[in-house]
């Protein structure tokens, strides 16, 4: 027997999401419906293949978008990268005011008056604003994870002081009492649900074979004719008209825009992720939406760069290139040179043996070939085996020695490269590791051994003043990969400018100071004290504010 398909929805049972799941997939042995405690949990059930489908609300005709769902679709942390939308379903949503037990008094208005706290899902408040404004102005409202959770809470409360906003079905399911039906502002109040699946899963690839009725995907004729797509992207928000240009591409391709939403990108303020839904009639060779993204000017499809591409993006972000940090492989470099050296030692020994052989030979021409290149060449051209052996060895030697010397020079360059700054290394490590290492395999360990790391840019100033300023410079915060922490980012040129200004100012004081003060001071002891003080101050400021070496400080102070 085939495994039943697993469908998840926002629980507990009897929520509107549960109703939408039953309507879409039906109730049978081939379908297992199970509740998730949040939308995020339903998304991760799909990502981890713990569910085949998830039924998630995306928008309501009265109250607009479900922002929690948009945020999960934006997937800023790359947690749900395989989650995709495969169908949608429209559910008429009728709300009721529900209490835990029968009120003592039959007068509805009196029962309303005894209620001092209301519970429901945040999406439901805005769908019942007229009713709430009329009867419950100023009454405490408590957001809960779903409408059925709200009923579960008030069902335990029998004083009639707490009420939930939810469906009639939820009231029946939890054994609660409906005080007022149809409290929604509009009789056509409808919530649209998306049906999600994991794009890598074979099992869920044919949604049509699982949907209970054609209604679950809308009018069947309409579905045959039109295809719906949800595309998310960001734009270069500083480019004038970028959004208008992006949207005009949909028109050009005959795509009817049915909705547009945006959420903050959380990369920088006032930059947005746009969600555009469009409908079009598929053609025989339908690749419209596939090519669409490439045709939108200034568009950045909001897929997250992964792995090596993501690390390369991060490394190149730093304007001072302090993050060009790589392993230097000191041990491997040393070992490679040792192998090359051993190879040359072997060639050297073979050459020595050939020399000995030629020296002891009775063949006078061969002996001469040790001294005269032309004779060696003649012998070689005549096919003399000794000369051939020597020539082959010379060619080998030439290639190996070249390789050895080139490697040596490269290695000596590499040895001159500086260690990364601890500050840059800490920021890189933090970004690389949180919430999980961005690279897999051995590359995961590439930043572990600080003593074997090198930074490729020319090291910025290493004097004490620059170091002090770097530690205290007001930095622009940038969100780390885990979305939890801010990393301080600043431009090294601001530090250089500040150091230059402070240095000029102090230099002026230590040079002009003694001249002017000696003019006014007449006492000899005070004069000696002043000269000593200013000389010490000069030596100290050169030591702290410049990267002069000891000999240079000594020389400058003596002068
Ligand atoms: O709380 C529920 O019952 C849900 O299924 C969630 C939800 C929503 O988020 O839109 C579903 C339909 C209604 O619009 C109200 C709440």
Q: Are 54 and 196 in contact (CB under 8 A)?
A: yes
191 is catalytic: yes
The CATH homologous superfamily for domain 226-304 is: ACT domain (3.30.70.260)
- The per-residue pLDDT for 166 is 98
Residue to probe by mutation, ligand 1, list 13, 16, 88, 164, most atoms within 8 Å of CB: 16
Confidence of residue 216 (pLDDT cuts 50, 70, 90): very low
* Euclidean distance between CA atoms 208 and 237, whole angstroms: 39
* Euclidean distance between CA atoms 354 and 550, whole angstroms: 54
Beta strand 162-166 with 177-180 is unpaired
Q: 146 C-alpha vs ligand 1 centroid, how far in Å?
A: 6
Q: 24 C-alpha vs ligand 1 centroid, how far in Å?
A: 16
> Which one of the listed residues 16, 136, 193, 210 is annotated catalytic?
193
Higher pLDDT, 157 or 215: 157
Q: Are 46 and 54 in contact (CB under 8 A)?
A: yes
Q: Are 125 and 147 in contact (CB under 8 A)?
A: no
The fraction of the chain above a pLDDT of 90, given in percent, is 51
- The per-residue pLDDT for 475 is 67
Instruction: Please report the atom of ligand 1 found closest to the CA of residue 150.
Output: 1
- The per-residue pLDDT for 303 is 47
Segment 76-80 mean pLDDT: 84
- Whole-number CA gyration radius for the chain: 38
How many residues appear in the chain? 559
Of 103-107, 237-241, 249-253, which range is least confident? 237-241
Nearest CA to ligand 1 atom 1: 146
β strands within 284-433, DSSP E: 299-301, 325-327
Higher pLDDT, 544 or 276: 276
- The per-residue pLDDT for 301 is 46
Confidence of residue 217 (pLDDT cuts 50, 70, 90): very low
- The per-residue pLDDT for 368 is 93
- The per-residue pLDDT for 476 is 61
Q: Is the pLDDT of residue 479 over 60?
A: no
Q: Average per-residue pLDDT in the chain?
A: 86
> Which one of the listed residues 62, 191, 234, 288 is annotated catalytic?
191
Q: Which residues pair with 233 in a beta bridge?
A: 274, 301
- What ranges in 438-558 are assigned the alpha helix state H? 464-472, 492-520, 524-545, 550-558
**Ligand 1 shell residues, CB under 6 Å:** 10, 15-17, 57, 60, 66, 93, 121, 123-124, 146-148, 191
25 is catalytic: no
Higher pLDDT, 1 or 308: 308
Q: Is the pLDDT of residue 220 over 60?
A: no
Q: What is the pLDDT of residues 116-130, one digit of tens each?
A: 999 999 999 999 999
- The per-residue pLDDT for 139 is 96
CATH class of the domain comprising 1-93+189-224: alpha beta
* Euclidean distance between CA atoms 297 and 294, whole angstroms: 8
Instruction: Please report the atom of ligand 1 found closest to the CA of residue 17.
Output: 5
Nearest CA to ligand 1 atom 11: 16
Choose from 55-64, 198-207, 288-297 the range with maximum mean pLDDT: 55-64
Confidence of residue 557 (pLDDT cuts 50, 70, 90): confident
Beta strand 177-180 with 96-99 is antiparallel
Q: What is the pLDDT of residues 46-55, one digit of tens each?
A: 999 999 999 9
Confidence of residue 493 (pLDDT cuts 50, 70, 90): confident
Q: Is the pLDDT of residue 176 over 80?
A: yes
- ipTM for the whole complex: 0.97
Confidence of residue 316 (pLDDT cuts 50, 70, 90): confident
Q: 212 C-alpha vs ligand 1 centroid, how far in Å?
A: 21
Segment 241-266 mean pLDDT: 84
Domain 95-180 adopts which CATH fold? D-Maltodextrin-Binding Protein; domain 2 (3.40.190)
DSSP 80: -
* Euclidean distance between CA atoms 196 and 85, whole angstroms: 5
Instruction: Please report the atom of ligand 1 found closest to the CA of residue 146.
Output: 1
Nearest CA to ligand 1 atom 14: 191
* Euclidean distance between CA atoms 388 and 41, whole angstroms: 76
Q: Is the pLDDT of residue 538 over 70?
A: yes
Distance of CA 362 to the CA centre of its chain: 77
- The per-residue pLDDT for 60 is 96
- The per-residue pLDDT for 214 is 45
DSSP 317: T
Beta strand 227-235 with 177-180 is unpaired
Higher pLDDT, 467 or 303: 467
Q: 60 C-alpha vs ligand 1 centroid, how far in Å?
A: 9
Instruction: Please report the atom of ligand 1 found closest to the CA of residue 10.
Output: 5
Segment 464-475 mean pLDDT: 77
Q: Is the pLDDT of residue 278 over 60?
A: yes
- The per-residue pLDDT for 271 is 80
Of 20-34, 141-155, 213-227, 444-458, which range is least confident? 213-227
Residue to probe by mutation, ligand 1, list 119, 124, 129, most atoms within 8 Å of CB: 124
- The per-residue pLDDT for 282 is 62
* Euclidean distance between CA atoms 364 and 358, whole angstroms: 9
Segment 507-512 mean pLDDT: 84
Q: What is the pLDDT of residues 57-73, one digit of tens each?
A: 999 999 999 999 999 99
């Amino acid at each position: 027997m085939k495994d039943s398909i697993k469908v998840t929805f926002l629980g507990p049972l009897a929520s509107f999401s549960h109703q939408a799941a039953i309507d879409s997939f039906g109730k049978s042995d081939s379908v297992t419906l199970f509740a998730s405690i949040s939308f995020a949990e339903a998304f991760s059930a799909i990502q981890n293949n713990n569910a085949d489908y998830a039924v998630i609300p995306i928008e309501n005709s009265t109250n607009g978008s479900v922002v929690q769902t948009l945020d999960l679709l934006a997937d800023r942390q790359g947690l749900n990268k395989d989650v995709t939308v495969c169908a949608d379903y429209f559910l008429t949503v009728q709300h009721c005011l529900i209490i835990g037990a029968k009120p003592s008094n039959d007068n509805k208005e009196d029962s309303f008056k005894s209620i001092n706290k209301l519970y429901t899902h945040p999406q439901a408040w805005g769908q019942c604003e007229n009713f709430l404004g009329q009867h419950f102005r100023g009454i405490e409202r408590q957001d809960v994870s779903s409408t059925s959770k709200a009923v579960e809470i008030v069902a335990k409360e029998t004083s009639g002081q707490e009420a939930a906003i939810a469906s009639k079905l939820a009231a029946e399911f939890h054994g609660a009492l409906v005080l007022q039906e149809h409290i929604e502002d509009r009789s056509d109040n409808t919530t649209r649900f998306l049906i999600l699946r994991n794009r890598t899963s074979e099992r869920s690839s044919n949604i049509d074979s699982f949907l209970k009725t054609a209604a679950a995907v809308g009018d069947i004729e309409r579905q045959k004719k039109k295809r719906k797509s949800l595309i998310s992207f960001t734009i270069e928000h500083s480019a004038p008209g970028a959004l208008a240009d992006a949207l005009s591409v949909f028109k050009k391709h005959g795509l009817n825009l049915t909705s547009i939403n945006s959420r903050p990108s959380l990369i920088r303020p006032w930059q947005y992720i746009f969600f555009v839904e469009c409908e079009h009639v598929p053609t025989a060779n339908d690749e419209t939406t596939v090519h669409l993204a490439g045709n939108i000017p200034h568009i950045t499809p909001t897929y997250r760069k992964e792995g090596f591409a993501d690390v390369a993006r991060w490394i190149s972000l730093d304007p001072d290139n302090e993050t060009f940090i790589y392993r230097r492989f000191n041990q491997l470099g040393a070992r490679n040179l040792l192998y090359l050296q051993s190879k040359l030692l072997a060639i050297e020994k073979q050459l020595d043996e050939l020399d000995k052989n030629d020296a002891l030979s009775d063949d006078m021409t061969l002996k001469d070939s040790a001294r005269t290149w032309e004779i060696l060449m003649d012998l070689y051209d005549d096919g003399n085996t000794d000369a051939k052996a020597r020539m082959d060895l010379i060619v080998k030697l030439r290639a190996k020695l070249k390789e050895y010397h080139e490697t040596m020079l490269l290695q000596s360059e590499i040895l001159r490269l500086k260690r990364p700054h601890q500050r840059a290394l800490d920021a890189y490590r933090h970004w690389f590791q949180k919430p999980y290492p961005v690279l897999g395999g051995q590359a995961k360990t590439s930043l572990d051994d600080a003593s074997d790391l090198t930074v490729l840019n020319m090291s910025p100033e290493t004097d004490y003043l620059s170091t002090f300023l770097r530690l205290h410079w007001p930095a622009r915060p940038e969100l780390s990969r885990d979305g939890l922490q801010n990393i301080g980012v600043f431009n090294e040129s601001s530090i250089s400018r500040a150091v230059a200004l402070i240095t000029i100012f102090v230099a002026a004081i230590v040079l002009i100071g003694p001249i002017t003060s000696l003019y006014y001071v007449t006492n000899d002891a005070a004069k000696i004290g002043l000269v000593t003080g200013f000389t010490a101050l000069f030596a100290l400021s050169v030591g702290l504010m410049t990267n002069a070496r000891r000999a240079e400080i000594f020389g400058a102070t003596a002068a």
